[in-house]
């Protein structure tokens, strides 16, 4: 397997999700990653169930972000441990941290102080809020950022309460931006010899993730509405309840809609505005009510078969266990199994989706087991 970052050493002082997920991606690409944990371990070691052995052992939450790393336990308030940390910093190309600003200052781990002592060290900081805004000293939690960034206001049914996304997606976005920023910093250092500071605020990662909704708000100044599974700019682009199951339908062109409308028996001569996406978006409510009635008369497999025959994007709505277990090898090849030399266990993980020369990037080391100090 290709390991393009094999010559780089990363010191991971981050905890929870965004920072560790970023360093896991770097490990998948070949970097050597040392994870520093407090005497109580990364908090996610206790976030469960599920745990590997029922109510004990490794948590699924810790497992999802820490493969490819070796772990060392350190109390960063202890002088001897601080000396050990300094030795590791001297050997590292990158240090990543997600301390609160006051904690970073107290520990001497701010960019300014680290850069003065280790001018070739790249420092990556994952923050809740950017260091140049008044909210900079607030802690960053995915759930809070989903509320603060507007994500919740556009997620959920129109008449329902605002909802979070089903996973910590703001953390995941921040992790991807962080890994990308670190690789850009490594390239910059190779070209110029200069180490730089990479900072990724969760809040701004979430705002960047608003994409077309954010662009639309900037363009119009209007407050976006919750549309459930609907799309603000494309109709029909949502789920529909058939007589036996739910299907997701993504009609991307007027021609696709005409074909679908003919099959369903819609009269487009009577409703000419439905021939264009602009008209369908403007008449969303009436059209969706009509489609709901028609889809309710069909079986999901019949709808999917028709859509496949006419190149209309569609899928049944699957459960996570269905797609991971029963669709493996059909829809994806993302599951990898790592051998744990300490326990003899085979550890299933979801690898990186990055294919390098047709092979998915995935570090060979399983997540580090917890060892009491």
- Does the residue 172 lie in any domain? yes
User: Is 171 designated active site?
Assistant: yes
**pLDDT for 370:** 87
Residue 125 domain-assigned? Answer: yes
- How far is CA 167 from each of CA 164, 173, 207, 250, rounded to the nearest angstrom? 8, 11, 17, 23
- d(CA 174, CA 127) in angstroms, rounded, equals 9
* pLDDT tens for each residue of 320-354: 999 999 999 999 999 999 999 988 999 999 999 99
Domain assignment present for residue 186? The answer is yes
Supply the CATH number for residue 17's domain. Answer: 3.40.50.10540
CA distance 125 to 178: 8
Per-residue pLDDT of 230-264, as tens digits, reads 999 999 999 999 999 999 999 999 999 999 999 99
Convert the pLDDT of each residue in 260-269 to its tens digit: 999 999 999 9
* Residue 357 resides in a domain: no
Q: Count of domains in the chain?
A: 1
* 350 domain residue, yes or no: no
Residue 24 lies in a domain: yes
Containing structural domain, residue 100: 9-209
Task: Estimate to the nearest angstrom the gap between the alpha carbon of 325 and the chain centroid.
Answer: 21
Q: Which of 323, 333, 325 is nearest to 354 (CA)?
A: 333
Residue-wise pLDDT tens digits, 108-138: 999 999 999 999 999 999 999 999 999 999 9
Separation between Cα atoms, residue 269 and residue 151, nearest integer Å: 39
Catalytic annotation, pick one of 28, 80, 171, 358? 171
Q: Which residue, 96, 62, 92, 114, is CA-closest to 180?
A: 96
Does residue 192 sit within a domain?
yes
Q: Is residue 133 part of a domain?
A: yes
Q: Is the pLDDT of residue 373 over 80?
A: no
Q: What does the pLDDT read at residue 150?
A: 97
How far apart are alpha carbons 327 and 332 in whole angstroms?
7
């Amino acid at each position: 397997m290709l390991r393009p970052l094999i010559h780089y050493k990363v010191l991971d002082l981050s905890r929870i999700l965004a920072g560790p997920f970023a360093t896991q991606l770097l490990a998948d690409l070949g970097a050597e990653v040392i994870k520093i944990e407090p005497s109580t371990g990364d908090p996610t070691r206790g976030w469960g169930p599920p745990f590997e052995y029922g109510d004990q052992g490794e948590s699924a939450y810790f497992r999802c972000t820490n493969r490819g790393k070796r772990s060392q336990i350190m109390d960063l308030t202890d002088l001897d441990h601080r000396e050990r940390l300094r030795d590791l910093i001297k050997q590292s190309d990158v240090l990543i941290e997600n301390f609160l600003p006051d904690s970073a200052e107290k520990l001497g781990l701010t960019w300014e102080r680290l850069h003065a002592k280790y001018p070739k060290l790249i420092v990556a900081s994952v923050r809740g809020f950017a260091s140049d805004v008044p909210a900079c000293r607030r802690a960053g939690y995915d759930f809070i950022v989903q509320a603060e960034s507007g994500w919740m206001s556009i997620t959920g049914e129109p008449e329902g309460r605002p909802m979070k996304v089903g996973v910590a997606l703001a953390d995941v976005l921040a992790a991807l931006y962080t890994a990308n920023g670190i690789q850009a910093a490594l390239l910059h250092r190779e070209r110029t010899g200069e180490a730089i500071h990479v900072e990724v605020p969760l809040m701004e990662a979430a705002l960047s993730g608003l994409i077309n909704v954010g662009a639309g708000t900037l363009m119009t100044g209007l407050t976006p509405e919750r549309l459930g599974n609907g799309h603000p700019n494309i109709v029909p682009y949502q789920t529909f309840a058939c007589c036996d199951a739910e299907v997701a339908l993504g009609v991307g062109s007027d021609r696709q809609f005409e074909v679908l409308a003919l099959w369903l028996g819609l009269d487009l001569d009577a409703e000419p505005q439905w021939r264009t996406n602009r008209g369908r978006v403007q008449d969303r409510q009436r059209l969706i009510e009509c489609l709901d009635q028609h889809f309710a008369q069909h079986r999901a497999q019949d709808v999917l078969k028709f859509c496949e025959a006419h190149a209309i994007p569609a899928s049944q709505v699957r459960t996570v266990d269905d797609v991971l277990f029963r669709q493996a090898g059909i829809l994806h090849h993302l599951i990898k199994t790592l051998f744990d030399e300490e326990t003899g266990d085979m550890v299933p993980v979801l690898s990186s989706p990055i294919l390098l020369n047709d092979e998915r990037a995935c570090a060979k080391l399983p997540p580090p087991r917890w060892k009491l100090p």
